Amino acid sequence: MSYVCDIDFLSCMTYAKTTAFTAEQQQLARVAKALAHPARVAIIQLLASKQTCISGDIAAELPLSRTTVTQHLQELKALDLIRGEIDGLTVCYCLNTELLQRVHQQFTRFFSEATASPACGPAVACAC
């Protein structure tokens, strides 16, 4: 966190430097953060395996409480990785495959660029 202060230094406020990064870098970071929890990975995999909307109890498919699953669904939905539509008393969840395909392409580019140069590590001498 950085601080922005006026001349008299009495009113300081914090601001995030996320604006210094590209929209793609910000999106990759948000998706990576969302997928950093195994429950959210499991939810994405469950929805992908069904290849349809799930209007049943997703919590019954996972070793988590209904409340915990609901919180993870909200996180994924907030990023639009999944969509949920109310159908009577239930919510029908499905993947946003368009966004997931776009993110897949971004991650593919990211890892291709990151691994394009020769390896540096314990088995290879670093050219630093």
> Structural domain boundaries of the chain?
22-114
DSSP string of 98-122? HHHHHHHHHHHHHHHHHTSSPP-BT
Q: Which residues contact 21 (CB under 8 A, 6 or more apart)?
A: 29
**Which tens digit of pLDDT belongs to each residue from 102-112?**
999 999 999 99
Mean pLDDT, rounded, for 83-98:
87
What's this model's pTM, rounded to 2 decimal places? 0.75
**Which tens digit of pLDDT belongs to each residue from 20-55?**
899 999 999 999 999 999 999 999 999 999 877 787
Please tell me the CATH code under which domain 22-114 is placed. 1.10.10.10
Q: CB of 94 within 8 A of CB of 46?
A: no
